Homo-oligomer: A and B are copies of this chain.
Amino acid sequence: MLRNMKDYLQEYRQLIDKTLLEKLDTIQIPETLKQSMIYSVKAGGKRLRPILLLASYEVYGKKTAITLTTAAALEMIHTYSLIHDDLPAMDDDDYRRGMLTNHKAFDEATAILAGDALLTYSFELIANDSQLTADQKVEILQVLTEASGPKGMVAGQILDMQAENQPVTLEELEQIHAHKTGELLRFAVYAGAFLGGASRTELMHLKEFSYYLGLIFQVQDDILDIMGDEAKLGKPVGSDESNQKSTYPKLLGLEGAIEKKTWYVDKAKAALQKANAQESVLMDLTEYFSQRDH
């Protein structure tokens, strides 16, 4: 069953990159703002969120492109969150994936506005997507605003800040990740499957699936920070330790973290089965998320 994931991911990544640039190149706005938005979108990495959206659509729907605008909008929201996270008042990062962060390449005011603009533009794109019905747009926007707003990703950001430099329990750690990175992953799976025509019951099981997928993503992130290859990661390992960040290995030990990951993988796969997606690419993506080396 295991597909050639490398080709699969690359094909979708290219499709998403092309869509993102089309949506941004044609927009009539002040040049500096446009350049700043494009800079960070181009600096983007694996495009995991939009790929997950397209993959979830594929499980239930036909292999056409009606999800491309939503996928691009999702990646723009992810990009906005990185731009604001990197600001001096937040994580104060000068580099991301070897490139200057937005406020270093431009300036802080422009970075704040580029983030604001990407967030708002992503909703504009969905509201104007001629491939979706009004009902589809409304449901997508309901789920996406909740996932990215104060109940979702922004809540995760605040919780993460509050947890800095103080001990957290495993449950609190899961809560932070479920909000900070999990919400957009859950939206990806939900939106793809919903537009693909999954039933309400299937959507419910997929919600459980994507909850565990988000945690798999995060525990692997923490494991890579200890065991990873700096060259492949494009960032130094061991930074969690020096930043006094709460991580799975710190709470459970490295062995315990790996065990926890296996448990999450089992839960994710069981949920996929219930969602009638046991033979799908989502199974392969779960393995990929769990074993990725960067």
Contact = CB atoms under 8 A, between A and B. Distances in A.
B150 A117 contact: yes
A87 B116 contact: no
Interface in A157-210: 157-159, 161-162
A124 B109 contact: no
Given A28-B151, A134-B135, A141-B141, A158 B120 contact: no
Given A90-B109, A142-B127, A116 B154 contact: yes
A291 interface: no
A109 to B, nearest CB: 5
7 contacts: A87-B112, A89-B107, A89-B112, A90-B109, A113-B154, A116-B149, A124-B142
Interface in A100-149: 103, 107-110, 112-113, 115-117, 119-121, 123-124, 127-128, 134-135, 137-138, 141-142, 145-146, 148-149
A237 interface: no
Interface stretch (A29-37, A224-232, A243-251): A29-37
A266 B151 CA distance: 46
A258 interface: no
A118 to B, nearest CB: 8
Interface residues of A, number: 48
A158 B110 contact: yes
Nearest to A134: B134
Q: Give the number of times this chain occurs in the complex, counting copies.
A: 2
A150 B27 contact: yes
A198 B162 CA distance: 49
Contacts of A138: 127, 134, 137-138
A78 interface: no
A292 B35 CA distance: 40
Contact of A120 (B34, B89, B128, B154): B154
Given A87-B112, A109-B89, A157-B113, A148 B128 contact: no
Contacts of A151: 27-29
Most buried by B among A37, A84, A135, A138: A138
A260 B162 CA distance: 52
A29 B87 contact: no
A80 to B, nearest CB: 8
Contact of A149 (B87, B124, B135): B124
A127 B113 contact: no
Interface string A233-244: 000000000000
